[in-house]
Amino acid sequence: SNNNKKMLKFVVVALLFCSVLGQQAGTNTPEVHPQLPTQYCTNATGCTTQETSVVLDSNWRWVHSVPGYTNCYTGNTWNTQLCPDPETCAQNCALDGANYEGTYGVSASGDTLTLGFVTGANVGSRNYLMNSESTYQIFHLKNKEFTFDVDVSQLPCGLNGALYFVEMPEDGGMSQYPTNKAGAAYGTGYCDAQCPSDLKFIDGQANVLDWTPNPANPNAGNGFYGSCCVEMDIWESNSISTAYTPHVCSTTGLYRCNGTACGNGNERYDGVCDKDGCDFNSYRLGDQTFFGPSMTVDTTKPFTVVTQFFTDDGTDSGTLNEIRRVYVQNGKIIENSVTNVPGMQNFDSVSDGFCTAQKTAFGDQNEFETKGGLAVMGQAMDRGMVLVMSLWDDYAVDMLWLDSDYPLTKSPSTPGVARGTCATSSGKPSYVESTYPNANVKYGNIKWGEIGSTFAAL
């Protein structure tokens, strides 16, 4: 209709008017955040529902010209006319709204989020919890616990349903970088302890310098900059193996790295973040019957994961000194597995002492200790962290570090090498994407609050 044309004309003029501002928010698809209510709990008053929602990370989104529909980025390459340099690209290009279920396989129902694996050309997703239309929910987890239900029954070898916290900016970086006009509403500002350089935008600028398409991955490449920050991996898992892993950095907040600071390749231990982390993987630590199909924690059925963050003096202001894990399944509380490694005393939680003993027993470099250990993780929690819920496959090393034998250069009988029962030939993205496109993970019933307030036995 004529009315529609007038409206279109107005939108185009408005977009033209905005185009000098920088990394834009596109409106070709309306951005509607799926509602995902969560609960905050205290021992005195129980749990109170929070009106929270989820947003898809900006890296998965269509990036196009403003105004118009021309791709700024196609497959794994940038449009050099629209994106000759970082600043011009941020001015010329917009992140668009997401069709969550149709394009990305992301859907919320009640308090449960389902992430699909292959949806059309899309693979996996990364999503953040929001507490308003323009801000992420910020978590302060010291002297608190975080609990969620998970269903990993549809996650085969090579997949990783990951739920974790990173020290992202609350508004996605908008206030700090005026060229970022999209912000948390469009999932900007990601960082983690791997200092990922595959992000298309960092600090309000396009990561186009030295962009190199990934020869193995049709959707990804790597730019000059990486995006680093402290990362608390509450949950990395499939139906075979699981791990929880704190990673610390010598920097605070989102740090845009380049060169040695990113810790790539043989500079792994020279970067600002501890990429190995201090992991508690029950199988790797000597209990081969604890986690898996029909095991103590039976991955063919849903269960509840509780992670508790204890401080040295039992207060919110104390120093983080222990991260404990409890499971609940079929109404029964299941205490975490106990380590069974030659020459290593028994542990059932993550502490600085555990990390030192584990790294020593496995002959691994203790970068976690070098970068400050749990105390530094606690400082990031004081500043506040954002919840990430994702599903991914691994174009670097086929997820062997989680569920198989890794590294391949060492004998599987060497302590610390065997991490799960998956074959070393498993986990190749081309195989899992074509064989298990309908794989998915469900996260639900998210609760956080005072220790002991978020779960109970039936």
* Chain segment 110-151, per-residue pLDDT in tens: 999 999 999 999 999 999 999 999 999 999 999 999 999 999
CA-to-CA separations, 431 to 13, 220, 390, in angstroms, rounded: 46, 18, 20
Has residue 54 got a pLDDT over 50?
Answer: yes
pLDDT at 399 over 90: yes
pLDDT in tens, 306-341: 999 999 999 999 999 999 999 999 999 999 999 999
Active site positions, annotated: 231, 236
pLDDT, position 15: 37
User: Average pLDDT of 12-30?
Assistant: 59
Q: Which residues of 380-397 are buried (b: 16+ CB within 10 A; e: fewer)?
A: bbeebbbbbbbbbbbbee
- Single pTM value for the model: 0.95
Q: Where are the beta strands (DSSP E) in 122-178?
A: 122-123, 125-130, 138-139, 144-151, 159-166
C-alpha angle with apex 329: 327 to 333, nearest 5 degrees? 50
Residue 277 near residue 246 (C-beta atoms within 8 A): yes
Residue from 123, 96, 257 nearest 188 by CA: 96
- What pLDDT was estimated at residue 23? 77
Between 6 and 229, the more confident residue is: 229
* Residue 302: predicted pLDDT: 98
Give the pLDDT mean for 94-101: 97
Q: Is the pLDDT of residue 21 over 50?
A: no
Mean confidence (pLDDT) of the chain: 94
The CA dihedral of 278, 280, 283, 286, to the nearest 10 degrees, is 80
Work out the average pLDDT over 162-188: 97
pLDDT tens across 290-306, in order? 999 999 999 999 999 99
Of all residues in the chain, what percent carry a pLDDT higher than 70?
95
Phi, psi (rounded to 5 degrees) for 260: -55, -35
| pLDDT score, position 22 | 55
pLDDT at residue 18, rounded to an integer: 37
- Asked if residue 241 lies in contact with residue 219, where contact means CB atoms within 8 angstroms, the answer is no
Per-residue pLDDT at 16 exceeds 90: no
Check pLDDT > 80 for residue 25.
yes
pLDDT of residue 2: 45
pLDDT of residue 26: 87
**% pLDDT > 90, the chain:** 93
Using CA atoms, how far apart are residues 56 and 101, in angstroms rounded to an integer?
11
Q: Which of 268, 296, 264 is nearest to 283 (CA)?
A: 296
Which positions ≥6 away from 20 have C-beta within 8 Å? 91
Token code pair at residue 46 = 């129980």
Nearest to 400 by CA among 379, 378, 418: 418
* pLDDT on residue 217: 94
**Position 19 pLDDT exceeds 90:** no
What is the pLDDT, as a whole number, of residue 262? 98
* Over residues 185-190, mean pLDDT: 98
Q: Is residue 14 very low, low, confident or very high in pLDDT (cuts 50, 70, 90)?
A: very low
